Amino acid sequence: MMRVLPWIYLSAMFCFIYLPVAALVLFSFQGGGLPVPPFDGPSLRWYGEVLVDDDLLAALAASLGVALGSSAVAVSLGFLAAYGLARFVLPGAAMIRALLIVPMTVSYLIVGLGLLIVIQRLGLPLSLLTAGIGHTVINLPLAFAIIYASMGAQQQSAERAARDLGASEADVLRLVTVPMLAPAILAAFFLSVTLSWDEFIIAFLLTRFDVTLPVEIWSMLRSGLSPRLNAIGSVVFLVSVAAVILAELLVLRRRG
Amino acid sequence: MTAVRSDAMGWGFVAPALLWTLAFFVLPFAVMGAMSLATLDGRELVWGLSLSNYAELAERAYLRRAVIVSLEITLTVTALSVLLAYPLAWIIAFRVPPRWQRLALLLAILPFWTSYVVRSYAWLLVLAREGWVNEALLMLGLIAEPVTLANTRLATVTGFVHFFVMLLTLTIYANLVQLSPNYRRAAMDLGASAFQTFRHVILPLTLPGIVTGAFLTFVLCIGDYVTPQILGGNTELTVPQVIMVQLGRRADFPLASALAIVLMGLVTLAYLAGARWLRVDRL
C-alpha cells in the first residue's frame, strides 16, 4: 500500500491539473452548441467559426503585436541594464537592482490602475500602445532578472579579450556578449511573450477600441458557455505552451 | 573588475531601464498614492490631503466585508495549495526516476501558462450543472440531482488552488532537489523514522522555499480580479472586484486608489509575517 500510494497521489493530482484543460480542448471539437457532456464530435465547426470572426482575428493580431513589441522592448532594456550593472561599478547598484525588480511584487491591477490614472490626467487616448507600455512594465523585471543571473565571469573574459584585440564597445556587445547570452535572452523573450499574451487586467484597463485576445474573450464570456470560446481558448493555450516549451528548450540547451 | 572603464558609460546602459521604471511604474504609483488622498466633488476631482477615502473604507460595511472576503479566500487558497503541492513536489523529487523528473515537472506546471481568463472559463465548464464534476457525483450516487458549483466561493477557491498548486510544486521542488541526500541518510543512520526525518530535518530546511512560494501565492491571489469575477459570481466581492466597481460604474478614482493602497498594505503585512524566512532574491 505504501508503495503505490505516491503513484495514486501523483495520478490524482495530474487529473486535477489537467481536468480543465481536457474539458477546454475536448469540447472545442463539440458538434452541438453547448460545450458540456455528452461529447458529440469531433467537429471542426467552431474552429471554422473562429477563423471567420473578424473581431477575434483582429484581437489575435493585436495580442501578438503587443506581446512581441512589449517583450522586445523589455528584453532590450533588461539586457542593457543587466550589462551595465554586471560590468560596471556603479554607486547604489543594489538599490537600482531592487528598483528594477520591485514591479514584480506589485499586483497587475495596481500597475494598470496607476498607469490609467496618469494617462487620463494627461488626457492621452487609451490604445494598444498604452497596453504595450503596461506589459513592458511587468516584463522588464523578469527579463532583467533572467539575463542578469546568467551574466557570468566566462563572458567577461571573452569580452576583455575582444576589447584587448581592439573591438569597440558596440562590437563587444554585438559580437561577443549578445551571442554568448543568446539562450538567456531568448528564454527571457519567450517568457515575456507568454506573460503578455495571457495578461488580462492591464490590457483591459489600458485599451479601448482595439483590444487584445484575453479582453475580447472576456467580453464573449458575457453570452455564456460556447464551444467557440473553447476553440479560441484552446488556441490561446497552445500558443502559450509553445512559447514556454521554446523557452524551456533554450534553458536546457544552455545547461546541457 | 574593469576599473578603468568609466562610470558614465555604465550609467548609459542602466539609464533606459531605470527611466522606464521611474516613468511608468514609480510615477504612476506616486500619483495613485496622491489620488487616494483626493476627493470627488460631484464629478470634479479635488486634490488634497484628505483621509476621507480611508475613513469611508472603515465605515462602509461592504468595503470592510470585501477586505475580509479577500483575506479568507487568499488564506484558504494559500494553505490548501501548500498542503497539496508539497507531497506532489516530494514525489517528483524523490520517487520519480531522475531522468523523468524534468518531464514530470514540466507536465505538472504546463497549464500554469494559460490566461487567467481561459483557465477560469475552463473551470466553469467542469463545474457547470451539466459538467463533469456533477456527472461524476451523480454516477457515484452522492447527489440525487445536479448541484450549483459554479458562481460560488468553492469555485473561486478551486480555480485558484489549481493555479497555485502548479506554482508551488515548482518552487518546492526546486528546494527539495537542492537538499543534499546526506541529510536524510544521516537522520536515518541516527535512527530517525521517515516521519521524524521529515519533521525535524527536511521540513525546516525547505521552510524558506515554502514561505517564499506561499508569499508569492498570497500576492498573486489577493490581487486577482479575473478568477473571483468569473467563478465566484456576484454574491460576495473581493477587494479587486470592488476596485473595478469603483472604476467602472462610479468612476471614483480616489476611492479605487485608496483600496489599491489597502491591498498593498495587506501584501506588506504578509511580507512582514514571513520576512524571517523569505528569500525575495529567489523569486
- For A20-71, write each residue's pLDDT tens digit: 999 999 988 988 888 888 888 788 888 988 888 898 999 999 999 999 999 9
pLDDT attached to residue B177: 85
B240 to A109: CB separation less than 8 angstroms, yes or no:
yes
- C-alpha to C-alpha distance for B223 and A107, rounded to whole angstroms: 5
What integer best gives the mean pLDDT of chain A? Answer: 89
Within a domain: B265? yes
Average pLDDT over residues A73-90: 92
pLDDT at A218 exceeding the cut of 80:
yes
B28 to A14: CB separation less than 8 angstroms, yes or no:
no
pLDDT band at B1 (very low <50, low <70, confident <90, very high): very low
Q: Which range marks the domain in which residue B171 is found?
A: 61-282
B135 to A35: CB separation less than 8 angstroms, yes or no:
no
**Tens digit of pLDDT for each residue in A188-212?**
998 899 899 999 999 999 999 899 9
Q: How far is CA B62 from CA A26, A232, B74, B140, in A?
A: 40, 36, 18, 40
Secondary structure letter of residue A126 according to DSSP = P
Q: Can you list the domains of chain A with their CATH numbers? A: 40-255 (1.10.3720.10)
Within a domain: B8? no
In this structure, are residues A129 and A206 in contact, taking their beta carbons and an 8 Å threshold? Answer: no
Within a domain: B225? yes
- C-alpha to C-alpha distance for B173 and B90, rounded to whole angstroms: 7
pLDDT at B4 exceeding the cut of 60:
no
Contacts of A133 in chain B (CB under 8 A): 24
Within a domain: B198? yes
pLDDT at A87 exceeding the cut of 60:
yes
Within a domain: B109? yes
Name the percent of chain B lying above pLDDT 90: 42
B226 to chain A nearest CA, in Å? 8
Mutate to test the interface with A, among B1, B2, B21, B195 (most CBs of A within 10 A): B21
B28 to A27: CB separation less than 8 angstroms, yes or no:
no
pLDDT attached to residue B3: 44
**Tens digit of pLDDT for each residue in A149-185?**
888 777 888 888 998 898 888 888 888 888 888 888 9
Q: CA nearest A194 in B: which residue?
A: B113
Within a domain: B26? no
Q: CA nearest A21 in B: which residue?
A: B122
Q: CA nearest B221 in A: which residue?
A: A107
Average pLDDT over residues B45-64: 87
pLDDT at A123 exceeding the cut of 50:
yes
Mutate to test the interface with B, among A5, A19, A56 (most CBs of B within 10 A): A19
Rounded to 10 degrees, the C-alpha dihedral A249/A251/A256/B1 comes to 160
Q: CA nearest B123 in A: which residue?
A: A20
Contacts of B107 in chain A (CB under 8 A): 14
pLDDT attached to residue B196: 84
Contacts of A181 in chain B (CB under 8 A): none
CB pairs under 8 A between A and B: 239
Within a domain: B56? no
Q: Residue by residue, what is the 3-state secondary structure of chain B?
A: CCCCCCHHHHHHHHHHHHHHHHHHHHHHHHHHHHHCCCEEECCEEECCCCCHHHHHHHHCHHHHHHHHHHHHHHHHHHHHHHHHHHHHHHHHHHCCCHHHHHHHHHHHHHHHCCCHHHHHHHHHHHHCCCCHHHHHHHHCCCCCCCCCCCCCHHHHHHHHHHHHHHHHHHHHHHHHHHCCHHHHHHHHHCCCCHHHHHHHHHHHHHHHHHHHHHHHHHHHHHCCCHHHHHHCCCCCCCHHHHHHHHHHCCCCHHHHHHHHHHHHHHHHHHHHHHCCCCCHHHC
The CATH number of whichever domain residue B116 belongs to comes to 1.10.3720.10
Mutate to test the interface with B, among A11, A76, A109 (most CBs of B within 10 A): A109
Within a domain: B106? yes
A33 vs A186, residue with greater confidence: A186
Beta-bridge partner residues of B41: B44
Q: CA nearest A24 in B: which residue?
A: B122
| Facing A20 at nearest CB: one of B5, B27, B119 | B119
Average pLDDT over residues B170-184: 84
Cell numbers given for B76? 484558504
Name the percent of chain A lying above pLDDT 90: 50
A89 to B253: CB separation less than 8 angstroms, yes or no:
no
Average pLDDT over residues B178-191: 82
Contacts of B166 in chain A (CB under 8 A): 17
pLDDT attached to residue B14: 94
Rounded to 10 degrees, the C-alpha dihedral B142/B146/B151/B154 comes to 0
pLDDT attached to residue B45: 84
pLDDT attached to residue A9: 95
Name the percent of chain B lying above pLDDT 70: 96
pLDDT band at B277 (very low <50, low <70, confident <90, very high): confident
B111 to A229: CB separation less than 8 angstroms, yes or no:
no
pLDDT at B19 exceeding the cut of 90:
yes
Q: Count up the domains in chain B and report the number.
A: 1
A128 to chain B nearest CA, in Å? 15
pLDDT band at B158 (very low <50, low <70, confident <90, very high): very high
pLDDT at B225 exceeding the cut of 50:
yes
Mutate to test the interface with A, among B1, B4, B25 (most CBs of A within 10 A): B25
Q: CA nearest B167 in A: which residue?
A: A17
A21 to B26: CB separation less than 8 angstroms, yes or no:
no
pLDDT attached to residue B23: 95
pLDDT band at B2 (very low <50, low <70, confident <90, very high): very low
pLDDT attached to residue B92: 93
pLDDT attached to residue B122: 93
